[in-house]
Amino acid sequence: MKIQLASIEQLQNAITKARKDKPLVRVVSFGHYTVVNKNTGAAYDVFLGRDEEGKRASECNCKAGTPPSNAAGAMLWKPRLCYHVAAAAERHLQLAHEIYEAACEAEINVFDNVRYLAPAQQATEHTKHTQRAA
Provide the 3-class DSSP secondary structure of residue 68: coil
Q: Is the distance from CB of 99 to CB of 29 less than 8 angstroms?
A: no
| pLDDT category of residue 118 using cuts at 50, 70 and 90 | low
Asked whether the beta carbons of 25 and 35 are under 8 A apart, the reply is: yes
14-43 tens-digit pLDDT:
999 999 999 999 999 999 999 999 999 999
Higher pLDDT, 24 or 56: 24
Pair 44, 116: CB distance under 8 Å: no
Per the model's pLDDT, the better-predicted residue between 117 and 11 turns out to be 11
CA distance 129 to 134: 9
pLDDT at 109: 67
The CA-atom distances, in angstroms, between 124 and each of 80, 98, 121, 133 are 23, 25, 5, 14
Separation of CA 96 from chain center: 13
